[in-house]
């Protein structure tokens, strides 16, 4: 027998049986029995905003899968570009499809000269690269007028390729500008991650050769960050996209959502926290201050969905060892390990199911690779673009309604206007 729930309106005694589908109940059914009674759900903690076939996440069991494939297998064996294809198309590419996809992305890595010269170089010298990225992505919509044809499948595909390809170029350009360094054009003989590293670090050498271990580690981090179902930035993407705005404007909104410390800025906060703790002796007093509320939160711990160890954090911890073998150990690592050890055996964190999340170790890797703190959210935005676009495309294919939640009004009742002189 199909599972269902029954709701009863105690004011009238009327009942309605609602089928349970894919783990949820349709609010439209609820509305049939109870028109005008809304769910009070700030932060959408208990609301499924859509149906999605892209990413599966079981927060209690610590499971993450893209299109059914376990994140552990993808991180170990795949590449970011292949994962981007998978997220967008639902299936892994054949060798021929992968070759064509990689070639298309590579051909679109360049940005219009005006984006760099007139636009990016117009920022103040100390502009935050994430602020520059948000604006530059939005500005792209003015360069590609065909982006408005969101129901033209060919045009849609082209904007998706452009966005995935240009994100690293814009990201590196923002960094170079903030360092007062000249822009480095993409080197299209390089793969995705090495090309980004070349645009970041090239100085006077004719060709920048990224260390293969570091390039692979970055690609792995890109895989781990490529999607995470209905997080804050993906929700922003879907909400803005639901108005049928072009994908550059929607991606700019998603990037803006990622800018905040509660989302994409958390790994930066982790490094600041570890730096402030400063030594192993200070770890226990710091944990005590978190527990009593004076020390703020333990950054990189806790997650809205994961109530066990974030599977991405496990993979990142391994990647960190590989990176540190090349770069030398990040001196903050020992503090992080001790923090984790103490927190995982402390009842405050255990009872609240607070475990390390993806951001706890990723910042240590980025820092060891030479990225400044301001670039951390930018490094998150590059791969998450694939996830955002997969959700945007899925939403359009579902012919979804415009996002427009209700509110529970708690303000003043009706009252008469009093002219200024009478107040």
- Which positions touch ligand CMC (CB under 6 A)? 231, 262-264, 266, 290, 297-304, 352, 354, 357-359
Residue with Cβ nearer ligand CMC (168 or 302): 302
Q: Is 60 a catalytic residue?
A: no
**Cα angle 289, 293, 295; round to 5:** 45
CA distances from 155 to 12, 160, 234, 341, 397 (A): 53, 9, 21, 51, 14
The CB-of-325 to ligand CMC minimum distance in angstroms stands at 26
Q: Is 303 a catalytic residue?
A: yes
Q: Is 263 a catalytic residue?
A: yes
The CB-of-391 to ligand CMC minimum distance in angstroms stands at 15
The CB-of-79 to ligand CMC minimum distance in angstroms stands at 22
Residue with Cβ nearer ligand CMC (108 or 228): 228
Residue 244 sits at φ, ψ, to 5 deg, of: 70, 30
- Expressed in percent and rounded to 5, the helix, strand and coil fractions of the chain are 55, 5, 40
Angle in degrees, 0-180, between the axes of helices 247-258 and 232-241, rounded to the nearest 10: 150
Give the C-alpha separation, 102 to 84, whole Å.
10
Give the C-alpha separation, 67 to 83, whole Å.
10
69-70 and 63-66: which strand pairing? Answer: antiparallel
Catalytic residue among 246, 303, 310, 391: 303
Catalytic residue among 108, 310, 359, 391: 359
CB neighbours of residue 304 within 10 Å: 14
The CB-of-128 to ligand CMC minimum distance in angstroms stands at 18
Residue with Cβ nearer ligand CMC (380 or 392): 380
- CB-CB contact of 184 with 176 (8 Å): yes
Residue with Cβ nearer ligand CMC (103 or 352): 352
55-58 and 4-8: which strand pairing? Answer: unpaired
The CB-of-367 to ligand CMC minimum distance in angstroms stands at 16
Catalytic residue among 211, 263, 334, 346: 263
Residue with Cβ nearer ligand CMC (40 or 126): 40
Active site residues: 263, 303, 359
């Amino acid at each position: 027998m199909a599972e269902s729930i029954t709701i009863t309106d105690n004011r009238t005694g009327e009942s309605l049986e609602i089928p349970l589908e894919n783990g949820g109940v349709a609010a439209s059914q609820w509305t049939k029995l109870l028109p005008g009674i809304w769910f009070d759900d700030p932060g959408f903690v208990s609301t499924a905003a859509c149906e999605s076939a892209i990413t599966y996440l079981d927060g209690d069991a610590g499971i993450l899968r893209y299109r059914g494939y376990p994140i552990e297998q993808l991180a170990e064996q795949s590449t970011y570009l292949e994962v981007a294809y998978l997220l967008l198309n639902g299936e892994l590419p054949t060798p021929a499809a992968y070759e064509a996809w990689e070639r298309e992305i590579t051909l679109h890595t360049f940005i219009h000269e005006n984006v760099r010269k007139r636009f990016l170089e117009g920022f103040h010298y100390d502009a935050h690269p994430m602020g520059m990225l948000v604006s530059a992505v939005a500005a792209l919509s003015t360069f590609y007028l065909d982006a408005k044809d969101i129901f033209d499948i060919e045009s849609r595909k082209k904007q998706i390729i452009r966005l995935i390809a240009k994100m690293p170029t814009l990201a590196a350009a923002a960094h170079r500008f903030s360092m007062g360094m000249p822009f480095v054009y993409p080197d299209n003989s390089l793969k995705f991650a090495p090309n980004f590293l070349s645009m970041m670090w090239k100085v006077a050498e004719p060709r920048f050769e990224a260390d293969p271990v570091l390039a692979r580690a970055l690609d792995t981090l890109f895989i781990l960050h490529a999607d995470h179902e209905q997080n804050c930035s993906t929700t922003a993407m879907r909400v803005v996209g639901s108005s049928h705005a072009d994908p550059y404007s929607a991606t700019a909104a998603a990037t803006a959502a990622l800018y905040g410390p509660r989302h994409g800025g958390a790994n930066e906060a982790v490094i600041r926290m570890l730096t402030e703790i400063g030594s192993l002796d200070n770890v226990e007093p710091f944990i005590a201050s978190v527990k009593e509320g004076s020390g703020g939160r333990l950054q990189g711990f806790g997650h809205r969905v994961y109530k066990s160890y974030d599977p991405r954090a496990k993979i990142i911890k391994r990647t960190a060892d590989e990176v540190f073998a090349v770069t030398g150990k990040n001196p903050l690592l020992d503090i992080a390990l001790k923090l984790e050890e103490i927190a995982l055996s402390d009842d405050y964190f255990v009872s609240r199911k607070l475990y390390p999340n993806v951001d706890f170790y990723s910042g240590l890797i980025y820092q060891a690779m030479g990225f400044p703190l301001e670039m951390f959210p930018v490094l998150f935005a590059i791969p998450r673009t694939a996830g955002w676009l997969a959700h945007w495309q899925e939403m359009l294919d579902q012919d979804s309604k415009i996002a427009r939640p209700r509110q529970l009004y708690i303000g003043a009742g009706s009252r008469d206007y009093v002219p200024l002189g009478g107040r």
